[in-house]
Amino acid sequence: MTYAQALGFLQQLAQFGYNFGLERIKELLRRAGSPQQKLKVIHIGGTNGKGSVAVMVNAILQKAGYRVGLFTSPHLHSYTERIRINGAAISETKMAALIEWFKPMLLAMVKEGYEHPTEFEVLTALALKYFADEKVDLVVLEVGLGGTIDSTNVITYPLVSVITNVGKDHMQYLGNTITAIARDKAGIIREHGIVITAAHHPEALAVISQICAQKEATLYRVGQDITWQQQYLSPSGGVFNYQGLLNSYTGLKISLPGRHQLENAATAVAVIEAAVLHHGLKVNSSCIRHGLASAKWPGRLEIVHRQPLIILDGAHNYDGATSLRRALEEVFVYNNLILVIGMLADKEREKVVALLAPLAAAVIVTRPDNPRAGDWQSLVGVARGFVEQVEVIANISAALSRALALAAKTDLICVTGSLYTIASAREWFMKQNKEEFASQ
């Protein structure tokens, strides 16, 4: 099976959509030899920031000399991005071979009366099998959606379970209240486990605390048991001080801009300290400093061009848009803002536009490259309630060209919304600025 053939088979599984429950993935993993039982896992969930925390934890562990598997989703440009060992994506050849290896199991399951595993379930099983085969020291595993019902929730005894925060997203699957969503995300908490959360919402904290008490799990809260103070923010990152479970640090630097990334970084350090305290991991202060400084996460307040300044940010829900707005107000210096936005129909699109459009001199509404884009043009009417110049350009490349035509060198173009929009925009800028991307 070639990579193209394997990819075609994998993408066909998208027809099964979101089909929650752990029965299928547990059976698939059983047939695959239960690779998850051979792994030491840090399990990271939450509404926003879980990918950023995952890459920071991964970077720190790598600096400490561990061989680390990293599973994140979704990808920007290639499925191989989701599965990495020490920063290197799984090869297309290896991924094709693993899909071919799993295919008979999938067919056998269906023949025996099981529902067909979904695309994400197969990717999760593939990642766990790959990490086990490669005998990694540790795995940093990002939850796909929710917690209780997510296919990554097959890990029996994670070293640390993390809930970055709880906000209103994926409400059609997780519930319409913070309490319901928090309860689902708290499904990754285990009996006598170690839990880190940076959730601030009182209802979310109450649920997480209650479930930790029921399961006799140890809970550490960022903002209470672990504290941090912002020292400096800039377009190239930030600096903060940290008081944690084991140590205090001054002048910790990160390369990801935005105040929210400082909290994500504090959460990542707390995860490392908890793993050191409870499981004996060997990570010194130098590893923490250098790991945080080296962590990168494309498509999150990522600068892809200067003069005019162009940033890409996958603020795909209201809380993400709140962090983006704060960064546009606090971090970046510019004359006029040109906002290019494309969001999926199952998001709180109107709220996001109402939050961001008032900052803009012009808004260009575009179409995410995904069937879930729905009535994407409906955002035009919302945007016109806040800004006079609103344009509709379905093709993302044409939308970016128009934004560049509108912008002076001292302006800022912000491309945001769905990560599908960000992926298309990033590919376009990569082609336009090959040298600039090659130097990153």
Please report the DSSP string for 288-301 in residue order.
HHHHHHH---TTSS
So what's the pLDDT on residue 11?
Answer: 87
Same domain, 60 and 209: yes
CA distance 96 to 296: 27
Q: Are 25 and 123 in contact (CB under 8 A)?
A: no
Using DSSP bridges, classify how beta strands 309-313 and 302-305 pair: parallel, antiparallel or unpaired. Answer: antiparallel
Residue that is last in its domain, among 276, 294, 312: 294
Same domain, 290 and 306: no
CA distance 422 to 400: 11
Same domain, 93 and 120: yes
Buried-exposed string 121-155: b where 16+ CB fall within 10 A, e elsewhere: bbbbbbbbbbbbeeebbbbbbbbbbbbbbbbbbbb
Same domain, 323 and 275: no
* CATH number for the domain that contains residue 321: 3.90.190.20
Same domain, 62 and 190: yes
What is the rounded (10 degree) CA torsion for 272, 278, 280, 283?
Answer: 20
Residue that is last in its domain, among 243, 277, 294: 294
Same domain, 255 and 285: yes
Q: What is the DSSP letter of 370?
A: S
> Rounded to the nearest 5 degrees, what angle is found at the Cα of 188, between the Cα atoms of 181 and 24?
95
Numbers of helices and strands, H then E, in the chain: 16, 17
Same domain, 182 and 273: yes
Q: How many domains does the chain have?
A: 2
Residue keyed to tokens 């085969």:
133
So what's the pLDDT on residue 169?
Answer: 66
Same domain, 259 and 331: no
Same domain, 344 and 207: no
So what's the pLDDT on residue 438?
Answer: 45
Same domain, 328 and 241: no
Largest CA distance in the chain: 63
| pLDDT tens, the chain, 440 aa long | 899 999 999 888 876 656 678 999 999 999 999 999 999 999 999 999 999 999 999 999 999 999 999 999 999 999 999 999 999 999 999 999 999 999 999 999 999 999 889 999 999 999 999 999 999 999 999 999 888 989 999 999 999 999 999 987 665 667 779 999 999 999 999 999 999 999 999 999 999 999 999 999 999 999 999 999 999 999 999 999 999 999 999 999 999 999 999 999 999 999 999 999 999 999 999 999 999 999 999 999 999 999 999 999 998 889 999 999 999 999 999 999 999 999 987 667 889 999 999 999 999 999 998 877 888 888 999 999 999 999 999 999 999 999 999 999 999 999 999 899 999 999 999 888 755 554 45
Residue-number span of the structural domain to which 410 is assigned: 302-438
Residue that is last in its domain, among 251, 273, 294: 294
Helix (H, G, I), strand (E, B) or coil at 379: helix
* CATH number for the domain that contains residue 239: 3.40.1190.10
Same domain, 368 and 219: no
Same domain, 204 and 116: yes
